[in-house]
């Protein structure tokens, strides 16, 4: 089997409502690049990457001359052909590598007639549990604003009833820490027996991180995720707070993982199939975490069905995945895969059992959402449409005022 072509298509798929985070917002849609790697036997492998547009599509096109005739089975060679670590100072192609790796694993699985998880060590679970992933959000098209503790609890109750979540992750860093603490406590009071996590995307000062961490120590926490920026910042909080610390921001490669093993700053590493450069890199990282008794979770960078499939196959094969995975997936209004959005059952999504990644593109949906992208374009992830002129600082000193109903103009 040999690669003959790579095609990239940017799509914009609507979210239920604009989601707020510490850096800005997801402006009511996810922009993603879908890739199709075509092999000489007619098979097509699927990949996905965050963001999109002309430059992303051109970056994939630029890989074609070097990957033409590459055998998709040769995954280690692929790593060096796309993202040689000594060249990454000039060409950081980790995310491109990830998307192509997904597609090659999809091709291998289709060629052999086996699901991706059987190529990755075999599954140890049939379904992957997910956390609810709660956001403060702006109102849109019948989806209510989420700003107050009551609104947050009502939204969580709806999600729990619809999907069966028993773990709830609050994305914070939007409002002042004391206000978000009130929201977090409201969740703990409303859902006794469920587990909680809080992630302000690293914008708190160490003092605020300590204050928040100590205030939640008595609650049923999975972990406190990236309360502050950097390995040293996390270490400073970790030394004085008893809640486990997690990160998806500063342990995203093997060098950083080694640093965290030698001087521990985070107790739990959130593995991301894109940021780490593929599913296999995450499996390797999980083995290091197993050896050094670091916890493992699965990070979400805003996935459609192709990327979700990579997260499910990853989650299926990690014996040490003791935490529910994250996904923005339930925030989407639609998906681009055949059959529509994969369903949650009791807070988990079944691992695809078909050959390769086990998902196929719905061509009509891809065309529709490619058109939506052409119509709406991208959006600045690090700006908030309801706060014109604002930009994030780290540590942040200018949180949104929770008493003001911000107006979303987008």
Binding site for Mg ion (CB under 5 A): 199, 225, 248
Q: Name which of 68, 42, 40, 49 is nearest 8 in CA terms.
A: 49
Using the minimum distance from each CB to Mg ion, give the nearer residue, 248 or 331.
248
Using the minimum distance from each CB to Mg ion, give the nearer residue, 110 or 274.
274
Strand 24-26 versus strand 19-21 pairing type:
antiparallel
Catalytic, 171? Answer: yes
Burial zone of 334 (CB within 10 Å; 0-12 exposed, 13-18 middle, 19+ buried): middle
Using the minimum distance from each CB to Mg ion, give the nearer residue, 285 or 366.
285
Instruction: Spot the catalytic one: 171, 313, 328, 365.
Output: 171
Burial zone of 341 (CB within 10 Å; 0-12 exposed, 13-18 middle, 19+ buried): middle
Using the minimum distance from each CB to Mg ion, give the nearer residue, 20 or 93.
20
Classify 304 as helix, strand or coil: coil
Strand 44-50 versus strand 127-129 pairing type:
unpaired
Query: Cis peptide before 192, with omega less than 30 degrees from 0?
Result: no
Tokens of 346: 């009791």
CB atoms within 10 A of CB 320: 15
Beta carbon of residue 251, minimum distance to Mg ion (angstroms, whole number): 11
Classify 261 as helix, strand or coil: helix
Beta carbon of residue 404, minimum distance to Mg ion (angstroms, whole number): 26
Beta carbon of residue 19, minimum distance to Mg ion (angstroms, whole number): 13
Using the minimum distance from each CB to Mg ion, give the nearer residue, 241 or 336.
241
Instruction: Spot the catalytic one: 70, 117, 299, 313.
Output: 299
Tokens of 252: 């995203």
Strands (E), 15-139: 19-21, 24-26, 29-39, 44-50, 127-129, 134-135
Q: Name which of 274, 252, 328 is nearest 99 in CA terms.
A: 274
Classify 327 as helix, strand or coil: coil
Beta carbon of residue 366, minimum distance to Mg ion (angstroms, whole number): 29
Burial zone of 322 (CB within 10 Å; 0-12 exposed, 13-18 middle, 19+ buried): exposed
In whole angstroms, what is the distance from residue 45 CA to residue 356 CA? 8
Using the minimum distance from each CB to Mg ion, give the nearer residue, 106 or 199.
199
Using the minimum distance from each CB to Mg ion, give the nearer residue, 117 or 197.
197
Using the minimum distance from each CB to Mg ion, give the nearer residue, 251 or 361.
251
Beta carbon of residue 319, minimum distance to Mg ion (angstroms, whole number): 23
Beta carbon of residue 110, minimum distance to Mg ion (angstroms, whole number): 33
Beta carbon of residue 314, minimum distance to Mg ion (angstroms, whole number): 17
H helical segments located in 84-176: 94-112, 116-119, 149-163
Distance, CA of 1 to chain centre: 31
In whole angstroms, what is the distance from residue 403 CA to residue 82 CA? 49
Give the list of residues 6+ apart from residue 252 with CB closer than 8 angstroms, or none. 272, 275, 276
Q: Name which of 262, 251, 321, 248 is nearest 292 in CA terms.
A: 262
Catalytic, 299? Answer: yes
Beta carbon of residue 212, minimum distance to Mg ion (angstroms, whole number): 15
Catalytic residues: 171, 299
């Amino acid at each position: 089997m040999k690669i003959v072509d790579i095609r990239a298509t940017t799509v914009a798929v609507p979210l239920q409502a604009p989601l707020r985070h510490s850096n800005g917002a997801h402006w009511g849609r996810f922009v993603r690049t879908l890739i199709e790697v075509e092999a000489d036997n007619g098979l097509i492998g699927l990949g996905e990457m965050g963001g999109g547009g002309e430059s992303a599509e051109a970056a994939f096109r630029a890989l074609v001359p070097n990957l033409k005739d590459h055998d998709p089975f040769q995954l280690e060679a692929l790593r060096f052909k796309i993202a040689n670590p000594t060249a990454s100072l000039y060409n950081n192609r980790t995310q491109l590598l990830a998307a192509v790796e997904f597609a090659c694993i999809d091709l291998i699985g289709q060629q052999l007639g086996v699901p991706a998880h059987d190529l990755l060590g075999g599954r140890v679970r049939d379904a992957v549990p997910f956390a609810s992933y709660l956001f403060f959000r702006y109102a849109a098209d019948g989806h209510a604003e989420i700003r107050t503790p009551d609104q947050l609890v009502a939204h969580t109750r709806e999600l729990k009833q619809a999907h069966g979540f028993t773990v709830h992750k609050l994305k914070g860093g939007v409002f002042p820490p004391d206000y978000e603490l009130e929201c977090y406590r409201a969740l703990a009071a409303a859902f006794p027996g469920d587990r909680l996590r809080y992630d302000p995307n690293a914008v708190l000062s160490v003092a605020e991180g300590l204050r928040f961490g100590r205030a939640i120590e008595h609650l049923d926490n999975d972990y406190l995720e990236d309360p502050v920026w950097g390995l040293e910042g996390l270490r400073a909080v970790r030394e004085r707070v008893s809640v486990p610390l997690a990160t998806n921001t500063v342990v995203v490669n093997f060098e950083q993982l080694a640093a965290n093993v030698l001087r521990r700053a985070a107790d739990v590493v959130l593995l991301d199939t894109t940021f780490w450069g593929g599913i296999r890199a995450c499996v390797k990282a999980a083995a290091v975490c197993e050896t050094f008794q670091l916890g493992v979770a699965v990070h979400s960078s805003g996935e459609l069905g192709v990327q979700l499939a990579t997260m499910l196959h990853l989650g299926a094969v990690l014996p040490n995945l003791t935490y529910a995975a994250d996904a923005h997936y339930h925030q989407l209004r639609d998906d681009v895969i055949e059959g529509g959005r994969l369903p949650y059952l009791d807070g988990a999504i079944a691992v695809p059992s078909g050959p390769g990644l086990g998902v196929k593109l719905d061509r009509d949906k891809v065309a529709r959402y490619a058109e939506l992208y052409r119509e709406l374009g991208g959006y600045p992830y690090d700006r908030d449409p309801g706060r014109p002129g604002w930009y994030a600082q780290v540590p942040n000193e200018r949180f949104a005022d929770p008493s003001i109903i911000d107006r979303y103009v987008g």
